[in-house]
């Protein structure tokens, strides 16, 4: 009984820690993005709230919390209210299966540094990413606004299109690791990270993940100069904030997934495993910000073209080649 | 070389060029990251604007200290947002002047057309840009608030030295004028 | 008059476009008809061409004339090919404007012409934007030309328009060209007020800022003015005006071209007779029993107050200065409520004269002002054109310059700007003289028998006078286009009918081509409509009020207290009234006595229709919305900053609206007050049915006047003047007496000192000299005024102007006689105007 209780407590502590780290990280990622974008554009960025603007995320959060939460007339109220949560929750749930390090031994018992070592962790991740589409589509549809609906349609089409290359690019990883568990995948990279063995899969995964995150150059669902703010045009206050949080948590999650699938997860010399993971995970958001500062938005036909005619065939070919090589090399 | 080879090579060069085209912008933006930002920290640092920049409008005075404005209505006619209004009147000494003169800075777009239209160089735009107000009515400036005691950008110009009217100086006493004609002289 | 078909026409080509015009039309005019405005300074359609400015040069490519010519000086001929855009002509015009500008001062910012200046426009359009001449400029000293015209001679380009108008068109002699060559100067020999009552037109004519409007000097630019077409209300001619208002104040009035009425010009009474609309003492707020209230409350109080009266005891007084809409509403109100018919005229004589003049008018007989200029013999009976209708004098001069004979039959010393033959008789003798003249003109005409038999007997005349009248009659009978002008202000009631009958018979005397005209002068701008509406007169109404037959009085835009010779009697009568309501925009003592005051709008704010003495329906447009002039709302030197939906003092409403709303409250059943109602109110003007007036007006009289051929002429009861007595006659003057313009601050401040007139014979008997101060013993007290002695004036008369600066209301009655020898001059010591003297300070 006490064991069970201790397990529950441990689980809650792990969840709390992960959420704290992830949410704080997301908040400061916003600041980092604004600062970096400013510097890319020869500006200074936010620097009024505290030294170097470090209290800016806090101020933003306070502002969003204190703003009026409006629901447009004619909106589908329950869906309108639930959609942002769906978007944020799916992003955060990914961290349930991300391993932050090797097992620790506390009081003689092994404590895995993962919230839940699910045997089908990779499928879980893909499933969550599919559910994330609902946050976008329902939010846009429930708003009863042309801009929102157009954004939602674009978002749905884009995310479903890129799920395919995303999943297919991970197939060689699973083939190499022989497991769907993220813990096992990390373990499988003990010798050499998969980026070395699967550079093509890494590229396909990165591009698809970028598209899944709906960020530049794939931000057609939000396309400010065409659709105001796309699917979240009608949102205000903290509900808008939830979409925002979802986006940035998703960026960190993508960073973690890239680290886990291709960069060897928490593995690394000298530094503790958690720090290694964080360093590797931070790489992806930084590159995303850089991309945002550099590339213009794609046209919708280019978006569809690159998914169906380039990335999907490439991923399929990659599976065949991997399979063939594995069969040939035994 | 075979034509196919040429074609292939050209294709390869194009691909390379495309790839470089995708990467070069990243180098550019990365370069910007390490360049000094141009932002000016406004309330702490203030830029000194050039004398010709267009900010708060003033009414200047001629070298003899009298107001230059003759209420000719050209500025209000030129103003694209109709923010200038005035009433012309005759002063005791016979001089034309604006009995009241109002600029609604809440409406002004600082285009400078009034300054261009002004034939006496009375109305001028200054580099002063810091005059926000808490209430919009405070942005309606009347003549005492607009009138300054200097000549602005052209301190030496005096319209009445050239005009030929008798408000300031008799006939024939202005720049480049002959003595008045004696109409009762009988010489041819 | 329609152009005769045989008049030669010719076809010419201007800039590749063909036009057919009458031969000898100036080419500049022909081009204007094509919409091609050839630049010009000296040419003006009313002044003709002199070719002084050289600005209208065009190239004649083919035809009888070739080369570079002034288009104003060349008459159109068949086959002419003209180019206005030929490089040679364009270059020539550019040079002309450059040399005109060489001496022009650099003072457009302080020049009032700036913004509507022909010189500015043509300098820029001619392509001369930068001065090349660097030498010293010629200057002139300016003159003070009086209160209306500002002179700035430096700006002159020597187009001669002002001098040509002043001397040729207006007949003035005190302004013109001085000196020669590059010293040429336009002005007077010595500075001083311009004497001609038409002097203001030189402001409109001047293409530069040399002559500008002094009252509006330095006040507004043309582009800022709210402008609109209007009609002059200062006599019955209805000249066209353009009103220019700024900041809820009339800045200036300009002449509006109306070819059949005033042409290009107006008189100074019309031009400067404004300002009554922005007087500080103008009623702007409705009042009930002296307390200010709002419109609805005042109307409700009036309607409630009117209910207890039986219909026959309610009287209405209207004014001939009201617009047609107001008169129609007034007539409708009286008819629907069964009240007494409205009263428009001050006494029975004037009402009778106006009604008989109106009855004599018909579309086939009536003459416009333009017709006056076309006539060849003009008989002016009992009219003083300069005083009663100044623009008529200008038309008479135009006719005289074309060779017409102007024959004046009047008792006053009529001063005309043209050559005229004059005969003077006492007013009661005029009908008899006209009868003698008519007998001479219509001798042997069968159809005239009935008319001639109705005429009164001629008085005993001196042989040479009788001969002159007979000669005049013959000349009228032989004339190609005879025209009879008849005044009503001084006329016996039958006189206009006699004059109209004479004109009618003159028209029908020979072949059908011949025509004759009749032009009566009526009291007030809507005098014709009022005369056609009929009604009583104020004298009769006064008696009824005194007897208690009328106990409620509504006065609409009529200032009876300051126009009556019996103010004390009126004041006493008004106190007997149980209800007095006044609707007006002029301040008057009547407002103080009124129980209900309804402020009305002036013509500048309300607009409206007016029918002039030729039955021409004309429209004045509302030009600005009523409200206190901006200058009177200043706080700390600048306009108030609060934004309000209405301007302060914007309470006045059109008088017609007050009356219509009153009718509604009295249960008249919501008369819509549309045009059909208006037309129905004036059966004597059938042309009204065709709708509101077009731009230059439309004649509304019936084509023929039934029964006008044989006027019913009653013997008039003229006063028998005992010997050595003077009959005191109230007369009009050009300035200072007319109802509206005597309230105009500009004219009140500048009108000449009022004077009384006496014939030389009488003055000699009494030993009085021209220019002396005279003490006239009147029933209401002595009156002091300057005397003018005239040779050409009927004896036995003392002419007293209705000038508010004179205490003429001490007359205290009509038909007053003064003993000649009781007039006496007062000495120089008594001259300075003290508190108790006759010169009353204008408020």
Tell me how crowded residue A9 is: count the other CB atoms within 10 A of its CB.
10
Q: Rounding to the nearest 10 degrees, give the CA dihedral for residues B139, B141, B145, B151.
A: 110
Which pLDDT score is estimated for C711? 53
Among C433, C427, C569, residue whose Cα is nearest residue C502: C433
**pLDDT value of residue A244:** 85
Token pair 């590797």 is found at: A280
- Beta strand extents in chain A (DSSP E only): 101-106, 109-113
Confidence of residue A139 (pLDDT cuts 50, 70, 90): confident
Taking contacts as CB-CB distances below 8 angstroms, the residues of chain B near A40 are 29, 32-33
Q: Which of B150, B72, B152, B67 is nearest to B114 (CA)?
A: B72
User: What's the confidence (pLDDT) of residue C830?
Assistant: 59
Backbone angles phi, psi at C132, to 5 degrees: -100, -25
Which residue does chain B place closest to C179, by CA atoms?
B183
Residues 6+ positions from A300 with CB-CB distance below 8 Å: A154, A220
Q: Is the Cβ–Cβ distance between C434 and C495 less than 8 Å?
A: yes
A247-285 pLDDT, tens per residue?
888 888 888 888 888 887 777 777 777 788 888 888 888
Beta-carbon pairs below 8 A across chains A and B: 31
Q: Which pLDDT value is given to residue A1?
A: 66
pLDDT range class, residue A217, cuts 50, 70, 90: confident
DSSP B38: -
pLDDT at C3: 45
CA A172 to chain centre: 21
pLDDT in tens, C21-72: 999 999 999 999 999 999 999 999 999 999 989 999 999 999 899 999 999 9
Whether pLDDT at C154 is above 80: yes
Q: Give me the residues paired with residue C240 across strands.
A: C231
CA A10 to chain centre: 25
Answer yes or no: are the C-beta atoms of C484 and C519 closer than 8 Å: yes
- Please say if the pLDDT value at position C408 is more than 60: yes
What the block records as the tokens of C56 is 């209208």
Task: Give C615-666 pLDDT, tens digit per residue.
Answer: 999 999 999 999 899 988 898 889 988 777 777 777 899 999 999 999 989 8
Domain boundaries, chain A: 2-44+79-102+110-329
Give the pairing of strands C405-410 and C377-381.
parallel
At C840, the pLDDT band (50, 70, 90 cuts) reads very low
- Structure tokens given for A214: 């709906």
CB A214 within 8 A of CB A155: yes
Task: Using pLDDT thresholds of 50, 70 and 90, give the confidence band for residue A246.
Answer: confident
Q: Do B165 and C154 touch (CB under 8 A)?
A: yes
Fold assignment, C725-830 = Barwin-like endoglucanases (2.40.40)
In this prediction, residues A318-323 reach a mean pLDDT of 89
Contact A36 B33 (CB under 8 A): yes
> Rounded to an integer, what distance in angstroms lies between the CA atom of residue C316 and that of residue C545?
12
Question: Does B65 reach chain A within 8 Å, measured CB to CB?
Answer: no
Cα–Cα distances in Å, from B174 out to A68, B170, C645? Answer: 70, 8, 49
First to last CA, chain B: 101
Q: What is the CATH number of domain C9-100?
A: 3.10.20.740
- What is the per-residue burial (b if ≥16 Cβ within 10 Å, else e) of C474-506? ebbbebebbbbbbbbbbbbbbbbbbbbbbbbbb
Cβ distance of B142 and C110 shorter than 8 Å = no
Closest CA to C305 of C579, C549, C591: C579
Q: For Cα atoms C431, C435, C438, give the angle at the middle one, nearest 5 degrees.
A: 135
pLDDT band at C843 (very low <50, low <70, confident <90, very high): very low
**Cβ partners under 8 Å of residue C686, min gap 6:** C700, C701, C702
Which candidate in C183, C251, C630, C638 is best for mutational testing of the B interface (most B CBs within 10 A)?
C638
pLDDT, tens digit, for every residue of C109-123? 999 999 999 999 999
Q: Mutation target for C interface from B181, B186, B188: give the one with most C CBs within 10 A.
A: B181
List of chains touching C (3+ CB pairs within 8 A): B
Beta pairing class for C698-699 and C240-245: unpaired
In the three-class reduction of DSSP (H, G, I as helix; E, B as strand; rest coil), residue C243 is classed as strand
Asked whether residue C488 carries a pLDDT value surpassing 70, the answer given is: yes
* B138: closest CA of chain A, how far (Å): 29
Amino acid C512: pLDDT: 60
Q: Distance (Å, rounded) from C-alpha C320 to C-alpha C325?
A: 12
Kindly state the tokens that stand for B136.
């919009």
| Most confident listed range (A126-135, A321-330, C395-404) | C395-404
- State the first-to-last Cα distance of chain A, in angstroms, to the nearest integer: 48
Q: Look at the domain C351-522 and name its fold.
A: Dimethylsulfoxide Reductase; domain 2 (3.40.228)
Q: Which two tokens stand for residue C217?
A: 């000097």
Alpha-carbon distance of C15 to C398, in angstroms, equals: 35
What's the rounded mean pLDDT across residues A111-119?
74
Measured CA to CA, the distance from residue C770 to residue C768 in angstroms comes to 7
| Torsions phi, psi for C728 (to 5 deg) | -90, 120
Long-range pairs of B131-140 with CB within 8 A, sequence gap ≥ 24? B131/B56, B131/B105, B136/B106, B137/C641, B139/B104, B139/B105, B139/B106, B140/B102, B140/B103, B140/B104, B140/B105, B140/B106, B140/C641
In the prediction, which pLDDT does C707 show? Answer: 54
pLDDT in tens, C698-753: 999 988 765 555 555 555 555 677 888 899 999 999 998 998 998 999 998 888 88
Shortest CA distance to C315 belongs to which of C91, C94, C647, C540?
A: C540
Q: What is the largest CA-CA distance in chain C?
A: 85
Tokens 């009824």 belong to which residue? C544
Question: CA neighbours within 13 Å on the CB side: how many for C768?
Answer: 31
Which backbone phi and psi does C18 adopt, to 5 degrees? Answer: -95, 150
Q: Fold for B57-168, please state it.
A: Alpha-Beta Plaits (3.30.70)
Residue C1 has a pLDDT of 41
Contact C728, C817 (CB under 8 A): yes
Q: Which residues of B touch A41 (CB under 8 A)?
A: 32
Report the share of chain C in percent with pLDDT over 70: 94
Who's near A80: CB < 8 A, 6+ residues apart?
A71, A72, A139, A142, A143, A234
The residues with which B90 forms a beta bridge, in sequence order, are B96
Q: Where are the domains of chain C?
A: 9-100, 287-345+530-639+646-699, 351-522, 725-830
Could you please state the CATH topology (level 3) that the domain comprising C287-345+530-639+646-699 is classified under. Answer: Rossmann fold (3.40.50)
CB-based contact, A295 to chain B, within 8 Å: yes
- Residue in chain C closest to B162 (alpha carbons) equals C106
What is the predicted pLDDT for the residue at C828? 57
Whether residue C413 contacts residue C792, with contact meaning beta carbons closer than 8 Å, is answered with: yes
Distance from the B2 Cα atom to the nearest Cα atom in chain A, whole angstroms: 29
What local confidence, expressed as pLDDT, does residue C713 receive? 52
Mean local confidence (pLDDT), C782-798: 91
Q: Looking at the complex, does the CB of residue A308 fall below 8 Å from at least one CB of chain B?
A: no
H-run or E-run covering B24:
helix B3-33
Written as one string, the DSSP assignment of C40-55 is -SS-BTTTB----S-T
Instruction: Tell me the chain B residues in contact with residue A294 when contact means C-beta distances shorter than 8 Å.
Output: 25-26, 28-29
Task: Identify which of A279, A288, A299, A109 has the alpha carbon closest to the alpha carbon of residue A223.
Answer: A299
Bridging pattern class, strands C67-70 and C176-178: unpaired
DSSP H helices in A189-294: 194-197, 199-212, 224-227, 237-262, 273-294
Helix ranges (DSSP H) in A74-120: 77-93
Q: 3-class SS at C652?
A: coil
Give, as one character, the DSSP assignment of residue B39: -
pLDDT at A209: 87
B37 shares contact with chain A (CB less than 8 Å)? yes
- DSSP string computed for B49-117: --TTS--SEEE-B-TTSSB-----SHHHHH-TT--EEEEEEE-TTS-EEEEEEEEETTT-----HHHHH
Condensed to tens digits (0 to 9), the pLDDT of residues C204-222 reads 999 999 999 999 999 999 9
Q: C429: which residues sit within 8 A by CB, 6+ positions away?
A: C459, C794
Instruction: Give residue-wise pLDDT tens across range A153-187.
Output: 998 899 889 989 988 988 888 888 888 888 888 88
For residue B125, give both structure tokens.
């735009």
Burial of C829 (0-12, 13-18, 19+ CB in 10 A): exposed
- A42–B32 CB contact, under 8 Å: yes
Q: What is the pLDDT of residues C343-392, one digit of tens each?
A: 999 888 999 999 999 999 988 899 999 999 999 999 999 999 999 999 99
Share of chain A above pLDDT 70, in %: 98
Q: Alpha-carbon Rg of chain B, whole angstroms?
A: 30
Instruction: At C361, list the tokens.
Output: 């008018």
pLDDT in tens, chain B (188 residues): 688 889 999 999 999 998 898 889 999 888 888 888 888 888 888 888 998 999 999 999 999 999 999 999 999 999 999 999 999 999 998 899 999 999 999 999 999 999 999 999 999 999 998 888 999 889 999 999 999 999 999 999 999 998 888 888 889 899 899 999 988 888 87
pLDDT tens digits for range A52-68: 888 998 898 899 889 88
Q: Do chains A and B touch (3 or more CB pairs under 8 A)?
A: yes
The answer to whether C139 touches C183, Cβ cutoff 8 Å, is: no
Residues of C with CB below 8 A from B182's CB?
183
Give the number of other CB atoms < 10 A from CB of residue A69: 13
Buried b (16+ CB within 10 A) or exposed e, B30-46: eeeeeeeeeeeeeeeee
């Amino acid at each position: 009984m006490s064991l069970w209780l201790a397990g529950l407590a441990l689980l809650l502590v792990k969840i709390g820690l992960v959420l704290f780290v992830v949410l704080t990280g997301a908040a400061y990622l916003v600041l980092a993005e604004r600062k970096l974008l400013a510097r890319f554009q020869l500006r200074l960025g936010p620097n009024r709230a505290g030294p170097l603007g470090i209290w800016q995320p806090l101020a933003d959060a306070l502002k969003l919390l204190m703003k009026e939460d409006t629901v447009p007339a004619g909106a589908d109220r329950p869906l309108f209210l639930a959609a942002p949560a769906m978007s944020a929750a799916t992003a955060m749930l990914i961290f349930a299966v991300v391993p932050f390090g090797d097992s620790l031994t506390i009081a003689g018992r092994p404590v895995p540094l993962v919230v839940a070592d699910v045997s089908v962790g990779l499928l879980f991740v893909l499933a969550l990413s599919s559910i994330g589409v609902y946050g976008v589509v329902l939010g846009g549809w429930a708003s009863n606004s042309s801009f929102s609906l157009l954004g939602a349609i674009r978002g749905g089409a884009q995310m479903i299109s890129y799920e395919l290359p995303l999943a297919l690019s991970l197939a060689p990883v699973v083939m190499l690791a022989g497991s769907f568990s993220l813990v096992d995948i990390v373990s499988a990279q003990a010798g050499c990270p998969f980026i070395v063995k699967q550079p093509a899969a890494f590229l396909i995964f990165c591009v698809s993940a970028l598209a899944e995150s709906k960020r530049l150059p794939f931000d057609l669902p939000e396309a400010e100069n065409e659709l105001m703010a796309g699917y979240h045009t009608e949102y205000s206050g903290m509900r808008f904030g939830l979409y925002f949080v979802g986006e940035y948590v998703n960026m960190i999650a993508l960073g973690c997934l890239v680290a886990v699938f291709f960069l060897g997860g928490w593995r690394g010399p000298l530094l503790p495993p958690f720090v290694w993971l964080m360093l590797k995970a931070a790489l992806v958001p930084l590159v995303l910000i850089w991309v945002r500062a550099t590339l213009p938005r794609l046209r919708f036909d280019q978006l569809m073209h690159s998914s169906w005619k380039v990335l999907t065939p490439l991923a399929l070919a990659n599976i065949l080649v991997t399979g063939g090589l594995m069969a040939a090399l035994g | 070389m075979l034509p196919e080879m040429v074609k292939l090579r050209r294709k390869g060069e194009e691909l390379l060029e495309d790839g470089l085209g995708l990467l070069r912008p990243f180098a550019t933006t990365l370069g910007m990251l390490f360049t000094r930002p141009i932002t000016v920290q406004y309330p702490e640092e203030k830029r000194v604007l050039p004398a010709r920049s267009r900010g708060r409008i003033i009414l200047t005075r001629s070298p003899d200290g009298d107001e230059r404005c003759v209420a000719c209505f050209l500025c209000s006619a030129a103003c694209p947002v109709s923010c200038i209004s005035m009433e012309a009147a005759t002063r005791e000494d016979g001089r034309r002047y604006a009995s009241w003169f109002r600029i609604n800075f809440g409406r002004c777009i600082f285009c400078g057309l009034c300054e261009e239209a002004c034939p006496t160089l009375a109305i001028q735009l200054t580099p002063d840009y810091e005059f926000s107000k808490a209430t919009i009515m405070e942005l309606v400036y009347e003549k005492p608030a607009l009138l300054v005691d200097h000549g602005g950008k052209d301190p030496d110009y005096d319209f009445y030295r050239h005009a030929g009217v008798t408000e300031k100086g008799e006939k024939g006493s202005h720049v480049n004028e002959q003595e008045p004609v004696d109409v009762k002289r009988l010489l041819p | 008059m329609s152009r005769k078909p045989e008049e030669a026409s010719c076809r010419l080509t201007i800039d590749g476009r063909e036009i057919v015009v009458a031969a000898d039309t100036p080419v500049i005019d022909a081009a204007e008809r094509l919409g091609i405005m050839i630049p010009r300074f000296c040419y003006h359609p009313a002044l003709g061409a002199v070719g002084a400015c050289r600005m209208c040069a065009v190239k004649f490519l083919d035809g009888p004339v070739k080369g570079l010519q002034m288009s104003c000086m060349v008459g159109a001929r068949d086959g002419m090919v003209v180019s206005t855009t030929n490089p040679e002509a364009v270059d020539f015009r550019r040079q002309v404007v450059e040399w005109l500008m060489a001496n022009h001062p650099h003072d457009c910012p302080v020049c009032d012409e700036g913004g509507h200046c022909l010189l500015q426009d043509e300098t820029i359009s001619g392509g001369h934007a930068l001065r090349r001449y660097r030498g010293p400029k010629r200057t002139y000293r300016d003159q003070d030309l009086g209160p209306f015209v500002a002179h700035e001679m430096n700006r002159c380009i020597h187009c001669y328009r002002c001098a040509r108008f002043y001397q040729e068109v207006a007949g003035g002699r005190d302004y013109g060209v001085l000196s020669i060559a590059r010293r040429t100067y336009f002005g007077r020999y010595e500075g001083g007020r311009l004497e001609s009552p038409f002097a203001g037109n030189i402001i409109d004519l001047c293409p530069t800022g040399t002559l500008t409007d002094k009252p509006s000097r330095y006040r507004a630019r043309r582009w800022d003015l709210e402008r609109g077409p209007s009609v002059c209300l200062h006599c019955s001619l209805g000249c066209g005006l353009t009103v220019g208002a700024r900041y809820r104040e009339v800045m200036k009035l300009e002449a509006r071209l109306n070819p059949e009425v005033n042409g290009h010009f107006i008189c100074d009474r019309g031009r400067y007779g404004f300002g009554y609309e922005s007087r500080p003492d103008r009623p702007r707020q409705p009042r009930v029993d002296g307390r200010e209230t709002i419109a609805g409350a005042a109307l409700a109080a009036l309607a409630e107050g009117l209910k207890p009266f039986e219909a026959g005891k309610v009287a209405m007084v209207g004014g001939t200065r009201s617009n047609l809409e107001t008169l129609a509403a007034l007539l409708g109100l009286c008819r629907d409520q069964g009240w007494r018919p409205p009263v428009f005229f001050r006494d029975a004589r004037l009402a009778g004269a106006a009604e008989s003049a109106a009855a004599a008018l018909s579309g086939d007989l009536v003459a416009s002002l333009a017709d006056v200029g076309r006539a060849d013999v003009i008989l002016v009976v009992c009219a003083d054109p300069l005083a009663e209708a100044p623009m008529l004098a200008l038309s008479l001069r135009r006719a005289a310059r074309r060779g017409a004979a102007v024959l004046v039959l009047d008792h006053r010393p009529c001063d005309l700007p043209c050559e005229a033959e004059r005969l003077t008789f006492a007013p009661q003798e005029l009908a008899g003289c006209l009868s003698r003249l008519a007998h001479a003109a219509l001798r042997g005409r069968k159809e005239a028998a009935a008319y001639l038999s109705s005429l009164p007997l001629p008085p005993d005349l001196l042989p040479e006078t009788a001969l002159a009248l007979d000669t005049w009659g013959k000349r009228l009978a032989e004339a190609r286009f005879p025209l009879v002008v008849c005044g009503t202000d001084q006329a016996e009631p039958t006189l206009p009918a006699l004059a109209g009958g004479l004109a009618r018979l003159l028209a029908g005397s020979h072949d059908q081509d011949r025509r004759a005209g009749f032009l009566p002068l009526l009291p007030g701008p809507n005098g014709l409509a009022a005369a056609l509406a009929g009604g009583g007169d104020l004298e009769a109404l006064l008696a009824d009020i005194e007897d208690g037959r009328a106990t409620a009085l509504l006065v609409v835009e009529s200032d009876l207290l300051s126009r009556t010779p019996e103010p004390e009697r009126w004041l006493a009568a008004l106190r007997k009234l149980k209800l007095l309501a006044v609707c007006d925009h002029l301040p008057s003592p009547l407002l103080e006595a009124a129980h209900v005051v309804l402020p009305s709008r002036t013509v500048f704010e309300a607009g409206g229709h007016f029918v002039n003495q030729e039955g021409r329906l004309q429209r004045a447009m509302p030009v600005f919305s009523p409200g206190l002039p901006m200058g009177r709302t200043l706080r700390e030197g600048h306009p108030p900053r609060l934004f309000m939906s209405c301007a302060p003092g914007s309470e006045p409403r059109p008088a017609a609206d007050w009356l219509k709303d009153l009718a509604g409250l009295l249960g008249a059943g919501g008369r819509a007050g549309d045009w059909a109602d208006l037309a129905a109110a004036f059966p004597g003007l059938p042309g009204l049915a065709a709708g509101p007036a077009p731009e230059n007006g439309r004649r509304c009289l019936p084509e023929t006047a039934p029964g006008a051929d044989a006027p019913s002429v009653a013997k008039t009861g003229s006063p028998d003047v005992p010997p050595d007595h003077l009959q005191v006659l109230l007369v009009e003057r050009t300035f200072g007496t007319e109802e509206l313009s005597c309230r105009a601050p500009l004219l009140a401040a500048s009108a000449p000192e009022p004077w009384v007139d006496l014939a030389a014979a009488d003055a000699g008997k009494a030993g009085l000299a021209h220019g002396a101060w005279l003490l006239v013993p009147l029933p209401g007290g002595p009156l002091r005024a300057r005397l003018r002695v005239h040779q050409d004036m009927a004896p036995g008369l003392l002419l007293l102007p209705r000038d508010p600066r004179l205490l003429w209301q001490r007359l205290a009655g009509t038909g007053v006689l003064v003993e000649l020898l009781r007039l006496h001059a007062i000495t120089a010591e008594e001259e300075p105007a003290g508190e108790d003297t006759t010169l009353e300070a204008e408020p």
